C-alpha cells in the first residue's frame, strides 16, 4: 500500500496554502493580468501573521510584484529604441523563474532563499 499524503490547502495566513495560492495567482497573471494585484494584496495582508519561514515567501512575492512592475515599465519605455523588447522578455523569464522557484521551495517546506535579491 502506498502511504502518500495529499497536500492540504488552507486560506489561513499561517499555512503554506495561502502562499501557494498567491504564486498561482502570479502565474495566472501572465494570462489574466489583474490576478497579480490580488496576489500582492494577499501577501501584504498575510506577511505579519505568518511563521518566519513563510514570511520569506511573502517577501519574495511582494518583491516579485514590485520589481517585475519596475522592470516592465523600463522595458516599455525603452521599447521605442527596441532594446525594451529584450528587457521585457528577460523580465518575463525572471518573473516565471522566481515564481516557480518559490513554489518549489514552498512545497519542500523551506524558506525562500534570499527573497530580497534582484536576480534569479
- Lowest model confidence (mean pLDDT) among 19-28, 46-55, 62-71: 46-55
Residue 114: inside a domain: no
The number of C-alpha atoms within 13 Å of 82 and in the hemisphere containing its C-beta is 0
Round to the nearest angstrom and report the end-to-end CA distance of the chain: 40
The Cα 41–Cα 11 span in angstroms is 14
Evaluate if residue 36 carries a pLDDT over 70: yes
Domain that holds residue 22: 16-107
Residue 112: inside a domain: no
The Cα 88–Cα 103 span in angstroms is 23
Count of domains for the chain: 1
Task: Report which DSSP code applies to 49.
Answer: G
Residue 11: inside a domain: no
Q: What angle, 0 to 180 degrees and rounded to 10, lies between the N-to-C axes of helices 35-46 and 52-78?
A: 150
Evaluate if residue 119 carries a pLDDT over 50: yes
pLDDT digits (tens, 9 = 90+) for 72-113: 999 999 999 889 999 999 999 999 999 999 999 999 888 988
Amino acid at each position: 500500500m502506498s502511504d502518500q499524503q495529499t497536500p492540504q490547502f488552507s486560506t489561513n495566513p499561517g499555512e503554506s496554502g495561502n502562499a501557494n495560492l498567491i504564486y498561482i495567482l502570479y502565474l495566472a497573471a501572465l494570462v489574466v493580468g489583474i490576478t497579480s494585484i490580488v496576489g500582492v494584496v494577499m501577501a501584504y495582508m498575510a506577511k505579519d501573521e505568518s511563521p518566519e519561514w513563510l514570511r520569506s515567501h511573502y517577501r519574495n512575492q511582494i518583491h516579485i510584484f514590485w520589481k517585475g512592475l519596475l522592470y516592465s515599465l523600463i522595458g516599455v519605455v525603452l521599447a521605442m529604441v527596441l532594446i525594451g523588447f529584450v528587457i521585457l522578455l528577460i523580465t518575463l523569464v525572471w518573473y516565471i523563474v522566481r515564481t516557480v522557484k518559490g513554489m518549489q521551495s514552498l512545497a519542500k517546506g523551506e524558506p525562500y532563499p534570499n527573497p530580497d535579491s534582484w536576480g534569479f
